[in-house]
Amino acid sequence: MSELAERAAKADANDPLAAKRDLFDLDDGVIYLDGNSLGALPRHVPARVADVLTRQWGRMRIRGWTEEGWWDAPQRIGDRIAPLVGAAPGHVVVGDSTSVNIFRAVVSALRMTPGRGEILVDATTFPTDGYVAASAARLTGATIRPVEPKNVPDEVGDDTAVVLLNHVDYRSGRLHDMGALTAAAHAAGARVIWDLSHSAGALPVDLLQHNVDFAVGCTYKYLNGGPGAPAFFAVRPDLLPVLDQPLGGWCSHREPFAMDPEYVAAEGIAKARAGTPEIVSLLTLDASLDVWDDVDLAQLRAKSLALTEFFVDCARELAPAARSVTPAGEDRGSQVSLSCVDAEKVMAELIARGVVGDHRPPDLLRFGFTPLYTRFADALRAAEILGEILA
């Protein structure tokens, strides 16, 4: 047995999260390393969704809103996500998409900073964040300026109202310093919005500790909520009473069934809702979150760091033509991005041979390591196959 194989066997044997893998519907012979785009299906979810469709909708119909708790699902499920991102209970709501929630957060932050008109946007951001921020700027008369996250302390100024950042760079996998960057923005009088789409469910996040104003994120990646699962929106506790979000709809009204022609915002996190919630996908997510009930996030992070480091070691030895562009140690999220020639063709061949990652132009192979179900043996085998293809 090779030294790498011995390391993999020992790490898998000592993995405190190993039993979690059996909770997921995974194919024999396929190494799934794309959980940073779409998480795997927990085995128990189809039966729960079938109940939603056949009994709750099929038999109970309109009674589901009250007797099955559909109406409060956005807040109830938000409370299940809150401990995964270090938010206070009652300050996370689930609904709509990440893009919609970014718009909601940007405009809310602008309204909280009168007299300021600049939005700083992560220059390395996932494109939708920039698109939405630019749209919000056009609607509000604000200006928008891209900055490298590391330069925020030097770039934030007296006119900066909002700083919009990604916690993990979706291309390189770099984990940004939430505490330091939030503090720098606050020192200049700006509000901060963090997009947690590539960190929630992959590593511990502590919104309360870092005094984060707003956070958003999708739930279909590391949280395994299913394709198109609704996003979450978190608000700092002391900001919730003054939140004036731009998409107030009937479900965020203080008395939604009064059908009042005048809008009066609800109390609490319900004021961050908008229209009728997407019940089937919400309850799919609710079922998926069961896999997190007893997960120690410190163990999750330890395994993530060990897995990604091991994969980099394997790739360095077995596939030297691919170069890692992902930072080492604590500066890394839960993915590894490798640069190589003909990356798109290489990824297509990897997928054909049962190693599922994804390609980001022009030259990146991107591999997401989901600690709940990825094994060290998977990381080794993926590097072996990559090496065979590149050779």
Residues serving a catalytic function are 126, 195, 220-221, 366
Count Cα atoms within 13 angstroms, Cβ side, for 149: 24
Six token digits for residue 201: 């469910």
Cis before residue 362, ω within 30 degrees of 0?
yes
Alpha-carbon span 4 to 272, nearest angstrom: 49
CA 21, 26, 28, 33 torsion-angle sign: negative
DSSP E strand boundaries for the chain: 31-32, 92-94, 118-122, 143-147, 160-166, 191-195, 214-217, 232-235, 323-324, 335-339, 355-356, 358-360, 364-368
DSSP string, 350-362: HHHTTEE-EEETT
The DSSP 8-state label assigned to residue 324 in this structure reads: E
**β-bridge mates for residue 359, sequence order:** 365
Six token digits for residue 202: 């992959």
Determine the 3-state secondary structure of 365 from DSSP: strand
The residue behind tokens 């299906």 is: 41
- Bridge-based pairing of strands 143-147 and 118-122 is parallel
- Bridge-based pairing of strands 31-32 and 191-195 is unpaired
Alpha-carbon span 332 to 358, nearest angstrom: 18
